[in-house]
Amino acid sequence: MHDGSGRIVVQNLTKQFGPVAAVQNLSFTVEPGSVTGFLGPNGAGKTTTLRMLLGLVTPTAGIGLINGRPFGQLGNPGRVVGAVLEAQGFHPKRTARDHLRVYAAAIGVPDSRADQVLGLVGLAAAGDRKAGGYSLGMKQRLALATALLGDPQILVLDEPANGLDPEGIAWLRTFLQSYARSGRTVLISSHLLAEVEQTVDQVVIISRGQTMYYGPLDHLRSRQQGRVLVQPSDVGALVGALREDGVTAIEQLPDGRIAVGGVDAKQVADTALKAGVSIYGLQEEKADLERLFFQLTNGQYAAPGQYAQPVAYQQPGYQAPPQGYQQQPPPPGYQQQYQQPPPGYQQPPPGYQQDNPYGPQHGQGGLGGGA
Ligand SMILES: Nc1ncnc2c1ncn2[C@@H]1O[C@H](COP(=O)(O)OP(=O)(O)OP(=O)(O)O)[C@@H](O)[C@H]1O
């Protein structure tokens, strides 16, 4: 019926809900043996993508394949894919064990499996309690237990960390990682990178229905660079002097400061001294993954006019940008942020605009050397 590979392939998936382009030409592959995070802010299209993958929503275009087949052609899909799409509508008066037994019967596994999966998710002692009295975190565990009933090769979980306390998140991390290490496939969605950062090996980051990054989390981490935030007496003079010194990763911040990448604070101070520019503030900022995530998903740190260039596309081996990417309108609020100079902004000297002081990396979402 299927190829047994454990691979998930999403090919050019597109879903249009009337005027809403929920998912646009999305492509990625999830390999077995690792945990893949499917990340994006609220409304990015994660749930719609997963629902298309699981045969619950018909794509406008493209296809989602599990083990080389569309979900509907998997035979007994409950034995191949375990999925949790949202906090499930458990019958509130039914005990967790009874709930699991109903589902076990539906996919043809013995009743005894209900107790096994209760144990797996840490609910063994609460199996006789009614699901209606469960906390949100316990409901998440019960939903996961339901997904595990068929001992599936593939787990697809939508926001599984929602409602879990720190101990629960740590438990989930260990559980999913060991599940993947046993050669199985795990795809989990989240709108918070920090929530899954320590759990996932690969990430697919989407925004407004389009792929922004697709690849190992380690590659994304390695692109992080710190930057120096500086408040000079004369922005144009300092930018010019930095450029003369070969520094190109310079970005004007909305608060009037400039951010300089690829240098340390001493270098910036030395250049300013040489150029006769006073420094009113100097701060070294360590980049973090969360900021990179924001850059990729809403462009709020990106340069005017060319926000959120997907970093993956600058690396070999990644997929091409989705069609129509360039035409994508800026996010709400973006224009406003840059239309007016920030308070304290100093007009650059003549010629400053023509000779783009931010350098060639300006417009790459402030990423890497551009930040
Ligand atoms: N059935 C539907 N009818 C119309 N629009 C829909 C429907 N389902 C989703 N959408 C829209 O599609 C877009 C993507 O929604 P989706 O739920 O897939 O995002 P998400 O990334 O899962 O968000 P969240 O993190 O908030 O769950 C949103 O604009 C949403 O309003």
Cα(21) to ligand 1 centroid in Å equals 9
Cα(291) to ligand 1 centroid in Å equals 24
**Beta carbons within 8 Å of 287's beta carbon, 6+ residues apart:** 224, 225, 226, 227, 371
pTM higher than 0.90: no
Portions of the chain given CATH number 3.40.50.300: 8-221
ipTM confidence? 0.97
Ligand 1: nearest atom to the Cα of 47: 22
pLDDT of 124 strictly over 70:
yes
pLDDT of 284 strictly over 60:
yes
Cα(183) to ligand 1 centroid in Å equals 31
**Using an 8 Å Cβ cutoff, are 242 and 268 in contact?**
yes
In this structure, which topology does domain 224-290 adopt according to CATH?
Alpha-Beta Plaits (3.30.70)
- Return the closest-CA partner of residue 49 out of 30, 22, 67, 72: 22
The pocket around ligand 1, CB under 6 angstroms, is made up of 17, 20, 22, 40, 42-48, 191
CA 330 to chain centroid: 19
User: Could you tell me which residue, 1 or 80, shows the higher pLDDT?
Assistant: 80
pLDDT at res. 338: 28
> Read out DSSP for 119-139?
HHTT-GGGTTSBGGG--HHHH
- The CATH architecture of the domain made up of 8-221 is 3-Layer(aba) Sandwich (3.40)
**Using an 8 Å Cβ cutoff, are 149 and 116 in contact?**
no
Portions of the chain given CATH number 3.30.70.100: 224-290
pLDDT of 333 strictly over 50:
no
> Read out DSSP for 147-166?
HHTT--SEEEEESTTTT--H
pLDDT at res. 99: 93
pLDDT of 300 strictly over 50:
no
Cα(197) to ligand 1 centroid in Å equals 23
Average pLDDT over residues 68-92: 86
In whole angstroms, how far apart are CA 258 and each of 281, 322, 363?
A: 10, 32, 15
**Beta carbons within 8 Å of 331's beta carbon, 6+ residues apart:** 208, 298, 299, 300, 307
